[in-house]
Structure 1
């Protein structure tokens, strides 16, 4: 079986509550559609529990193929994401702190810090807008923080720090110090 482009398989990692279709070629009795449980596992006939959470579909398929070789000669397995339920929580932008309505909103391409703050109802009278921070988890797993001059954006139209947001970003608007 040809191995897919590794950068492609790393695009989506299976998450809790996703639904997967596991198809075993020429063995329909072993093919199932199952949810990913809170422990990140799925139940597969003959094999029992298989870890799926945090892995690419191709990785899960290869694991199932390897384990099925004890029962079937040269098994061919496909794992297809049928319902991407976990993605809904991963691809959100959160706005917290001194905003009228702290909110978690779906990420949309082209969304900026200003768009997200406005969806949160804007800032309160106690906000220290120029101390706003945008927190982002980098691919390496480390966190990044960006200074946002929200007061300058809102009052003067200075869009220099009106950054594009990414899925998973958290925008925090602190309160003024007395």
Structure 2
């Protein structure tokens, strides 16, 4: 009796292990057949979308349709050419917006298309992302934007202010998404001479900092 019971328990254990292995294989096969999940956009100050510019190179990938996938430059008119769809406006738009536009147009020819637009060469980025410092500084400059850069960083790269600068009347000029220019007061003299950092703002790509001369 004991031998028969042991044999029964052993058989049940083998069946249980086989069932678990089969279920794991089924889960892996189902995951492999699913399309890749959309990329998540991080929250916070680094979630701002990059806007495509002229001369950037884009990789357009259509899931399960490699014959429709291309790598193309952005033409001077801001457009790219995509198989079946033709010309698509890319300049001034985020990659996600361009992908959604292509998906919508491809739906006429492809069932439930999934499109990814990837920037492979950011040729327009150099000038779009620069920060410029002008006016009463020792060397007016146009410098590449760097993550974490502040007004003080940009002014120091311009060699600091001249002896004739009205540093506390400095201004930071920034263009918003609608194209309007926003101006902020920068008390640069307090930053440089007193270490008061209240107006030492973080800069953004495309910002312009102006330092006026004081009246004689």
From 141, 145, 148, the equivalent of 1:107 is: 145
TM-score (norm 1): 0.81
Give the superposed CA RMSD.
2.8
Partner of 2:121: 83
Structure 1: 5+ residue runs without aligned partners?
A: none
Partner of 1:162: 200
- SS state of the match for residue 171, structure 1? strand
Which structure carries more helix by proportion? 2
Measured in 2, the distance between the counterparts of 1:128 and 1:57 equals 42
Structure 2: 5+ residue runs without aligned partners?
A: 1-34
1:57 lines up with 2:57 in the alignment: no
1:92 lines up with 2:126 in the alignment: no
TM-score (norm 2): 0.69
Which structure carries more strand by proportion? 1
Larger radius of gyration: 2
Compare relative contact order (CA 8 Å, sep 6+) and give the higher one, 1 or 2: 1
User: 1:70 offset after TM fit, Å?
Assistant: 3.5
User: 1:97 offset after TM fit, Å?
Assistant: 1.0
Measured in 1, the distance between the counterparts of 2:67 and 2:97 equals 22
